[in-house]
Structure 1
Amino acid sequence: MTLISDTRELAAFCERIAKSPFVTVDTEFMRERTYWPKLCVVQLGGAEEAAAIDALADGIDLAPVFALMDDRQLLKVFHAGRQDLEIFYHLTGKLPEPIFDTQIAAMVCGFGDAAGYETLVTKLTRAHLDKASRFTDWSARPLTERQIAYALDDVTYLRKVYEKLGKKLAQNGRAEWLAEEIVTLTSPETYDPNPEEVFRRIKTRSASPRYLAVLREIAAWRELEAQRLDLPRSHVLRDESMVEIAHHMPTTPAELARTRGVGRRLAEGSAGAALLAALARGKALAEKDCPQPIDRPAMPNGLGPVTDLLKVLLKMKAEESGAAQRLVASSDDLDLIAAFGEEADVPALRGWRREVFGKDALKLCHGEIGLAVRGKRLDVIVVEPE
């Protein structure tokens, strides 16, 4: 077991593994009480060695790790790496590239909708992992031997998982499928939400532009305040409280304090003043500048059976192709294809998804093909025009 807590030792280790054809990467972090993830441990694996780096060690400088992440000639391999990538983006302002995500690769290669690391390790290496340390306190020091062993498992077995999935992608010609999915992971917009748009994530009780304007200002204030204080959004103000404030639009601290989940301490303090100011900005906004509800296309009646048929076709095509059903098309995709056919602006009708499922989905909707049970198999049959 290797735990690095010294900058000089870390630099030497990173220099060695930089010569590998790829490095495996994982992190352990805490986020229950903060807005930003608190990095506790970084795990790196080269071709022949791996180490866990104590990111909280006194005086340690993680610059050698960041240099590795910034090396465009070195492939970085993650499993379900979105949160790991967010950490590096927050700490450096840049995203590691190029990357390979084994969870996405597994979804492309027939391992189901959300292939867990433990499942992949078992299927591809026949090893069994000890996951008992998954939910331990990674900020507590010293780290136990069991924690270190757990952390290292996440990058040592990942080497073999990557190699085997890489071979499968080469054999089935789906490397481009993976590349399309990686684009989202390596886009800064994925990790840098616009405070002016976060209100769209909140379940609202009204579609009134004025209501949405107030909610937008309140949600933007909360987002920036949570970042400034490094607290979870709900610790600053819960979604339910924001919805109530946008609905009742209080104008004084006393009125604000009566909102469930706010209370006098917040309402009468500087946060309450800032919150009321945000509310006032939303109320004062010109009508033409108020956000509009996202238009949901009116769905024709009687689509249920068509959507159900598309679900059956999707399941069939996913099993045939070995691509995860969730990766090929969503429920919303199916509804929109059933309603609008080729005019539906959905991922399922673009790129590799169109080849796997979209083309036949449109044919099914147009009555050009049907589904029939033959023996114990479901087949696509061509419908002859009348």
Structure 2
Amino acid sequence: MLERHIQTEQQLIELCTQLAHSPWLALDTEFVREKTYYPQFCLLQISNGEIAATVDPIQIQELQPLLDLLYDDAIIKVFHAGYQDLEIFYNLWGRLPTPLFDTQLAASLLGLGDQVGYGNLVEQLLNHTLEKGHSRTDWSRRPLDEAQLRYALDDVIYLGDIYIKLTGMLRDAGREGWLQDDFDQLANPDTYRNPPQEAWKRIKGRQQLKGVQLAVLQGVAAWREQEAQQANRPKRWILKDEVLTDLARRQPKSLEQLSRIRGLEPGVIKRRGELLLKLIADARALPREQWPRDKRRIIRLTPNQEALTDLLYSCLRLLAEQNNITPAALANRKEIESLVSGERELDILRGWRRTIAGNRLLEVLAGNCWPELENGQLVLSTTTTPD
């Protein structure tokens, strides 16, 4: 395979011309975000199976030839666990490269592991072990040395071979189109938007809050999100999650009460204290019907519902085994608890997961299907009634 390191606009034009008519492109990115809200795009790796290249967006100002290639609808873009790569494309250019294929999602559907890593997949399918020595590289520093570039290229050199193997395995298993809903979700711009008013849903510890406390959390979390986006700084640098939840729980009404919030620095109180008090007061003044509701709050099940959850999870494990898929790729226990409690907007009831397991679990809940022993083996039956 021809390997190239692209550092000038002319080199980029030549590379994109060579790749222009490829049926697919394997893609990966390197980035840093320890000191920023948005990831800093540092390196792109790209391969069509014949050419593998790194593209340096720090040194190349004009990337339009690359964008024309990435957003060509005739070329399938192949990623492994592509969410963070796609987030970069969306943040920088407001669009997502489609059509796309994610090898981690395909591996999960084929029973190769739940959220399996790229290196693990290379070993399983290609019997090759990747170098792991540069996983903590600061990709924003220049120059990058040959070992770093070699490590980066490996992320796409083998990705194309994995893509070809997985598509063949999906075809042989009759599951070729099953992942389209997952790919559509990856390609949906809403997946990468972070509207401030929705930020509270991502706060650790929110499940312990309720009622007006969630309204306060929504207000202060939206403010923090806006501050982080505008300053391009990590949210934790502004206020940590535990401070937000403590503000929502205790709802201080004065600067003196604010000073009792653990982790809230005196400097923040001096600069932002009055604003925080106003945010809290405004949230407390909202009518009850405007309070947010957390659909993922801790579910309190009755003993009967606990037993039913155990039953459904056993059925899930059986269905996973029958279809050579890990149970975790279908659903976790919390999702089964949500199903038992009446929630229906769940991943287990969408796409291929519904085909494999979701519909059967609903039948069990409706009493139209049940597990029973048959020749010492647990099976799901719909033909006889249990004693």
TM-score by length of 2: 0.90
Change (3 A) 1:138 1:350: closer
Aligned residues: 380
Residue pairs, 1:342-357, within 5 angstroms: 344-357=344-357
Shift of 1:273: 4.2
Change (3 A) 1:90 1:345: closer
Matched, 1:208 2:183: no
Change (3 A) 1:177 1:214: same
Q: For 2:137, give the aligned amino acid.
A: T
Residue pairs, 1:326-337, within 5 angstroms: 326-337=328-339
Change (3 A) 1:369 1:244: closer
Change (3 A) 1:310 1:224: same
The answer to whether the Cα contact below 8 Å between 1:208 and 1:293 also exists between their aligned partners in 2 is: no
SS at match of 2:179: helix
1:201-250 deviation line (CA, Å, top 9, x unaligned): 322343122x2222211100000101111111111101111122223333
Residue pairs, 1:363-374, within 5 angstroms: 363-365=363-365, 366=367, 368-372=369-373, 374=375
Change (3 A) 1:350 1:102: closer
The answer to whether the Cα contact below 8 Å between 2:370 and 2:380 also exists between their aligned partners in 1 is: yes
Shift of 1:300: 3.8
1:2-39 deviation line (CA, Å, top 9, x unaligned): 22111111121012112111111000111111111111
Change (3 A) 1:175 1:7: same
Residue pairs, 1:165-184, within 5 angstroms: 165-184=166-185
Change (3 A) 1:259 1:359: closer
Q: In 1, distance between residues paired with 2:12 and 2:115?
A: 33
Task: Tell me which residue corresponds to 2:36.
Answer: 34
The answer to whether the Cα contact below 8 Å between 1:212 and 1:291 also exists between their aligned partners in 2 is: yes
Task: Tell me which residue corresponds to 1:153.
Answer: 154
Change (3 A) 1:278 1:357: same
1:167-192 deviation line (CA, Å, top 9, x unaligned): 11222221221111112211111110
Change (3 A) 1:359 1:200: closer
Task: Tell me which residue corresponds to 1:319.
Answer: 321
- Unaligned runs of 5+ residues in structure 1 are none
The answer to whether the Cα contact below 8 Å between 1:43 and 1:50 also exists between their aligned partners in 2 is: yes
Matched, 1:190 2:159: no
Shift of 1:76: 0.5
SS at match of 2:42: strand
Residue pairs, 1:236-255, within 5 angstroms: 236-255=238-257
Q: For 2:89, give the aligned amino acid.
A: F
Task: Tell me which residue corresponds to 2:286.
Answer: 285
Q: For 1:87, give the aligned amino acid.
A: I
The answer to whether the Cα contact below 8 Å between 2:81 and 2:104 also exists between their aligned partners in 1 is: yes
Change (3 A) 1:32 1:123: same
Q: For 2:352, give the aligned amino acid.
A: W
Give the RMSD, CA atoms, in angstroms. Answer: 2.4
Task: Tell me which residue corresponds to 1:17.
Answer: 19
- Unaligned runs of 5+ residues in structure 2 are none
Task: Tell me which residue corresponds to 2:384.
Answer: 384
* Identity rate, percent: 37
Q: In 2, distance between residues paired with 1:157 and 1:364?
A: 43
Greater shift, 279-288 or 137-146, is seen at 279-288
Q: In 2, distance between residues paired with 1:263 and 1:197?
A: 25
Change (3 A) 1:10 1:346: same
Task: Tell me which residue corresponds to 1:223.
Answer: 225
Shift of 1:95: 1.0
Task: Tell me which residue corresponds to 1:103.
Answer: 104
